[in-house]
Amino acid sequence: MMNIKDIARLAGVSASTVSRVVNGKKYVKPEIRERVLDLVRENGYVPNNAARSMVLKRTFTVGIVVPDAFNMFQRQLFSAIERKLEGYGYGTRFFLVKAEPESEKACLGRLKAEMLDGVIMLLEVDDPEFYAVIADSGLPVVLCTFGRADLGLPSVHIDEEAAAKAATAHLIGLGHERIGLLAGAQFSFGKQRQAGYEAALREARIPVMAGRVVVVPSYTAEAGRMGMKELLGREADLTAIFAVTDELAVGAIRALYEAGRPVPDAMSVLGFDDIDISASLSPSLSTVRQPIAEIGTEAAEIIYRLISGVPAETDPIILPYTLLARETTKRREGRDRNGNMA
């Protein structure tokens, strides 16, 4: 692999001159610039980033912390961030964290070792020390899809509780009263969405019954299927289900399918996130759309500003969600909650 000295020797100039050419600096005679550029091309010379970042103290790289088993939602979010950052001349680097404390610790170490210019967290790490260490290392950081206003860290996300409340209200508006919930304990959105569900019920004066709620261990389709089976077993008269993620909803629909209960005729199902596949399902999944592209773009902009030295705005950026009433939710048949025919 060629290095800057090789090119310098070939061009009969000093390494500094090559550096100037490669970095587009002024004060290089045009003919020399040409000569060097030709050599660079011919030899496929690319500056060594490690050496470069050592002297510059910058890597032009932003770390993206994601869960080990990141889903399509995070995948899409990442794309939006990547695209925006690329426009600013920054690259990205993945840091995968498993749902284990040691993994979070290890990630912190890797984050430090890489001399990143900034970090975007797509994963809500449990360990409060994690944020503390990052914060007082002075490394710019943005929380993306969740907030921690208490930590004074900038964040971009939707109003999870309001969105879940609106989602549940949609179901209620369709005449449903006995609404099951597939919730999750992992990450704060799990609890926030559950709170929104409860708030909507309360507002409609529908009793919140623990028997209608299942807290699943992970946000996968399989977990959704198991959760739905559980719900079906203990509570036979539900007419609608709110699953706190689309993957969960897909699994719930599967359980319903296996039980011979067609969606949406026998049961309405509502998801959350609007992952790629949701619109293409048959029937298409009703869900709450998070503005993925906007969230990603906004997070990228904030991190860029932070890196550029603009002081952090710690008020969370709350972006609007959209309720997508597609085909898995429908008006409840039979009597409505007042005993009249729908």
Partner DNA sequence: TTGAAAGCGCTAACAA
Partner DNA sequence: TTGTTAGCGCTTTCAA
Does position 91 interact with its own copies (CB under 8 A)? The reply is yes
User: Looking at 17-25, 171-179, 247-255, 315-323, which segment touches its own copies (CB under 8 A)?
Assistant: 247-255
Q: How far apart are CA 217 and CA 44, in angstroms?
A: 50
Binding partner of 26, given its own copies, DNA, none, CB within 5-8 angstroms per partner class: DNA
Q: Does 80 bind DNA (CB under 7 A)?
A: no
Give dist(CA 216, CA 222) in Å, integer.
10
Of 48 and 79, which has the nearer Cβ to DNA?
48
SS3 call for 62: strand
- Note whether 69 and 39 are within 8 A (CB): no
Nearer to DNA, 137 or 314 (CB): 137
- Can residue 222 be called a binding residue for its own copies (CB under 8 A)? yes
Q: Is there binding between residue 20 and DNA (CB under 7 A)?
A: yes
CA proximity to 271, closest of 254, 283, 259, 288: 288
> Which of its own copies, DNA, none does residue 20 bind to, with CB < 5 to 8 Å depending on kind?
DNA
Site for DNA in 27-56 (CB under 7 A): 27-29, 32, 47-48, 51-52, 54-56
- Tell me how far apart the alpha carbons of residues 272 and 55 are, in angstroms, rounded to a whole number: 46
Residue 33 or 75: the one with the smaller Cβ distance to its own copies is 75
Is residue 118 involved in binding its own copies (CB under 8 A)?
no
- Judged by CB under 8 A, the number of residues near its own copies is 51
**Which positions ≥6 away from 332 have C-beta within 8 Å?**
174, 175, 176, 239, 240, 268, 342
Question: Does 15 contact DNA by CB under 7 A?
Answer: yes
Write out the two tokens for 166: 């609106």
State the minimum distance, in angstroms, from the CB of residue 10 to DNA. 12
H-only helix segments in the chain: 4-11, 15-22, 30-43, 49-56, 72-87, 101-113, 128-136, 160-173, 187-203, 221-234, 246-258, 292-307
Residues lying near DNA in the complex (CB under 7 A)? 3-5, 12-20, 22-23, 25-29, 32, 47-48, 51-52, 54-57
